Amino acid sequence: MVSTNPFGEFRSECEKLLRNAVNRLFPEVSLPKTVLEIPPSIELGELASSLCFELSKRIGEKPRSLAEKIAAEISSTPFTLVESVEAAGAGYVNFHVNLEKLASLTFESAEELDEDYGFVKAEAPLKIIVEHTSVNPLHPIHIGQARNPILGDSLAQILRKRGHTVSTHYYVDDVGRQTAIIAYGYEKLGRPKPEGKPDHFIGLIYTITNCIIEIERLKKEIKKAEELSLREDLAQLRRQLDDWVSVAAELREKHRNLFDKLLDEARKDENPEQAVNELNRRYEEGEETAKRLIREVADQCLEGFRKTFERVGIRFDSWDWESDFVWKSHVRKTLEKLKSTPYVFQSAGVLEFDAEKVADDFELKPKLGLRKDYEIPSLTLMRADGTTLYTTRDIAYSIWKLEKAEKVINVIGMEQTLAQLQLKLALYALGYGEQAENLVHFAYNLVTLPGYKMASRKGRYIAFDQVLDEAVEKAYAEVSKRSPHLSEEEKRAIAEFVGVGAVKYSLVEVDPAKPVVFTWERVLNFERNSAPYIQYTHARACSIMRKAARKPEKPDYKLLAQPVEHEIILMISRFPEIFIEAAENLKPNLIAEHANLLADKFNTFYNSLPVIKAQPPELSDARLSLVNATRIVLRNALTLIGVKAPEKM
RNA sequence: GGGCCCGUAGCCUAGUUUGGACAAGGCGCCGGCCUUCGGAGCCGGAGACCCUGGGUUCAAAUCCCAGCGGGCCCGCCA
């Protein structure tokens, strides 16, 4: 017997038994929704129902006595996976599973389905686009941004295994002032060949250029404020200037040549800020020299990103350049169309989108979970100089994505919630209301550093690459200590997947809605509740299988009578349900959690019970099946969160 | 000022969507394990008014209301 969802079979049986029993006993009562839950303790059974509490109100009988009647009624009918039913507590109906049958079904299914065990297919597979990461090509990916590709890639992997056709997209945001700034600096330096990893080199030029321009800009604004004696503005501007001046000092300290050269060159320009804006405008217009320059810079930066992605095993199916949507008129046409709706107005020379009015006219506030009295701010669509803003371009891009897929998931930080809302409302205004419902903003919370605020524009960040390096280095030290006999090459290879795995796990393990405070301690954890711990447990299970060097020929599953064995059988049988929940609710952290719990139980098992030498042979075989199924689930779970499952380490 | 997110042992987290039985792990702390298959491990112990106050309910960490604390957003940045 093979089942894609062994625990689900048990659950369905319990539901059916419960429903039939209640129908027979109380034909006049409509059944409350029968949700079965997992009891707090394993002694209470594997599934339980609290429907008697609800039923008691309708029937006017104590929950406990109802539970007893129902349990007795169910017990008079035949079972398959169910072992027994009983009334418990104040009125619960508890179901105990027939462990021998569940073990047999679970282990045989796991072995048979192997690399597909747990991956229950969706009834209606969809074409899904997962857009994730989309870090601007300005500087290396920092640790705050790194949560995005880790979550996004895991989501994509989970949805693929769920049977959907998933395409991962990277939106290259090469339009806008920021890319113009880096390109400006890059050109001033005479388009240098990158020293070291290109994204880090680009990042350095970006920070210095941005810093110089900001200082110039602030100085001018301060002068203006002085003339108009705007006291409050002045104080604030001066604070900002102080901050940038200290950034400049830090930068010049570390990179004197580059800094001084850029400063000299920038000073040759009457107004660097204006030059940047000019470049931005020319790029949007598709002017050739601007195109060549900015694409060259962006390409170099992306080349660096690709190296990082390769290292962490993340690939994109499509690289979508924002500028293409501008040049191919997608943006202009969207804007024209939007202008013809009653939701766009002029204000102080710029084009505004009235998101509030759309929400009202289409009565969308309750649907979008907004309060009636909340007034949605309007969105600026176009600058006075005719160039567009990020969200405007994103509207055009979103339409394109929604035309290519039935569902679009945008993995974007929660700080962009408002912009994503405005974007969605623009889709309604444009008549894409139906498609807008298929647009999901997967919002995750920020990664913060204790002590100071990360600011990529100020060059204050910890690069993802650096975190990976540290993790791999620590892993190397650990491997060298634990397995000195291994060759240098083997040690390096192990250190790589251990270190990378640890970092990925630390970012995927936490509920995406919760903020993560970055600490080295968290990321460099190789002990319990970490990728290395699960990897180690997997390698251990593999090792037992290797040593046994045989297939379980005649397992007798009823001999698996130890509590820990009981728990492991349950966890393996439940993996498909966990997977479904993770896929449907977009919660990769559930997978990490389940793998970790299984690893915990397996290690307890490992330390207390022999496998290969267990007697009689039927027990040894049954345990071997358990080890093998554990190995399969750990590996499949790790695959979903993008962590390598090694056979040795 | 308005909106969104977060608040669970000293620290980090699970559980909150879908209310159910004595709130579950990890780190750290204390005490044990050279138990045959891999010690990145195992066993035991101490440690929680689930931010506060109301409300709904047979039942609230979970739902509702009002606060408090922290973060984010409200830009002709992205």
Peptide linkage before A588 cis (omega within 30 of 0): no
Task: Find the nucleotide nearest A50 (Cα to C1′).
Answer: B20
Task: Quickly give A40 CA vs B22 C1' distance in Å.
Answer: 9
Distances (CA, A) of A433 to A337, A365, A372, A584: 15, 14, 20, 23
Which of the residues in chain A have pLDDT under 50? Answer: none
As a rounded value in angstroms, the CA-to-C1' distance for A527 and B26 is 9
Q: How far is the CA of A53 from the C1' of B54 (A)?
A: 26
A39 and A87 Cβ atoms separated by less than 8 Å: no
Closest nucleotide relative to residue A611's CA, C1' based = B37
Nearest nucleotide by C1' from A370 CA?
B3
The interface predicted TM-score (ipTM) is: 0.95
Point out the residue nearest to B33 (C-alpha to C1'). Answer: A607
Rounded to whole angstroms, the Cα distance separating A630 from A117 reads: 11
* Residue at shortest CA–C1' distance from B75: A380
Query: Do residues A645 and A535 touch, judged by C-beta distance below 8 A?
Result: yes
Residue with nearest Cα to nucleotide B13 C1': A510
**CA–CA separation, A38 and A594 (whole Å):** 15
DSSP state of A453: -
- Give the per-residue pLDDT at A301: 97
Distance A371 CA to B46 C1' (A): 47
The secondary structure element, H or E, covering residue A152 is: helix A143-161
Q: Which nucleotides of B are covered by protein (CB under 7 A)?
A: 2-7, 12-15, 17-18, 20-23, 25-28, 35-43, 58-59, 70-78
Query: How is the beta sheet containing A379-382 ordered, strand by strand?
Result: A344-347, A350-353, A379-382
Nearest residue for B38, CA–C1': A540
Distance in Å from B55's C1' to A34's CA comes to 28
Separation of A398 CA and B11 C1' (Å): 42
In the structure, how far is the CA atom of residue A371 from the C1' atom of nucleotide B55, in angstroms? Answer: 21
| Distance from residue A370's CA to nucleotide B3's C1', rounded to whole Å | 9
CA of A505 and C1' of B75: distance in angstroms? 35
Which nucleotide across the nucleic acid strands is nearest to A610, CA versus C1'? B37
- The answer to whether A560 touches A618, Cβ cutoff 8 Å, is no
The fourth-level CATH superfamily of domain A127-175+320-456 is HUPs (3.40.50.620)
Degrees (nearest 5) of the Cα angle A194, A196, A197?
Answer: 90
- CA–C1' gap, A545 and B34, in angstroms: 24
A119 CA, B7 C1': Å apart: 35
Task: Report CA dihedral (A102, A105, A111, A117) to the nearest 10 degrees.
Answer: -80
Q: Of all nucleotides in the shown strands, which has a C1' nearest the CA of A548?
A: B37
3-state secondary structure A64-132: HHHHHHHHHHHHCCCCCCEEEEEEECCCEEEEEECHHHHHHHHHHHHHHHHHHCCCCCCCCCCEEEEEC
Closest residue, by C-alpha, to the C1' of B42 = A607
Residue nearest to nucleotide B78 (CA to C1'): A390
Cβ(A87)–Cβ(A70) below 8 Å:
yes
Both structure tokens of A361? 């006219």
Q: What is the DSSP letter of A289?
A: H
Q: Which residue is nearest to nucleotide B19 (CA to C1')?
A: A50
Which nucleotide lies closest to A482 by the C1' atom and the CA atom?
Answer: B40
What is the C-alpha to C-alpha distance for residues A149 and A153, in angstroms, rounded to an integer? 6
C1'-nearest nucleotide to the CA of A422? B74
User: ∠ at Cα A632 (A595, A156), nearest 5°?
Assistant: 65
Select A6-97's CATH number: 3.30.1360.70, 3.90.650.10, 1.20.1260.10, 1.10.760.10.
Answer: 3.30.1360.70
Report CA(A597)–C1'(B11) in Å, whole number.
Answer: 21
Q: Which nucleotide is nearest to A605 (CA to C1')?
A: B42
Residue nearest to nucleotide B76 (CA to C1'): A383
Distance A528 CA to B71 C1' (A): 29
Percentage helix, strand, coil for chain A under 3-state DSSP, each rounded to 5: 60, 10, 30
- Measuring from the CA of residue A388 to each C1', which nucleotide is nearest? B76
**CB contact set of A602 (below 8 Å; sequence gap of 6+):** A537, A540, A541, A568, A630, A634
Boundaries of every domain in chain A: 6-97, 127-175+320-456, 177-307, 464-640
| A63: nearest nucleotide, CA–C1' criterion | B58
Which pLDDT belongs to residue A527? 92
User: Domain A464-640 falls in which CATH fold?
Assistant: Isoleucyl-tRNA Synthetase; Domain 1 (1.10.730)
b/e per residue A75-110 (b: at least 16 CB within 10 A): eeeebebbbebbbbeebbbbbbbbbbbbbbbbbbbb
Note the CA–C1' distance, A641 to B77, in angstroms. Answer: 33
pLDDT digits (tens, 9 = 90+) for A413-463: 999 999 999 999 999 999 999 999 999 999 999 888 877 778 888 888 899
Q: Which nucleotide is nearest to A381 (CA to C1')?
A: B76
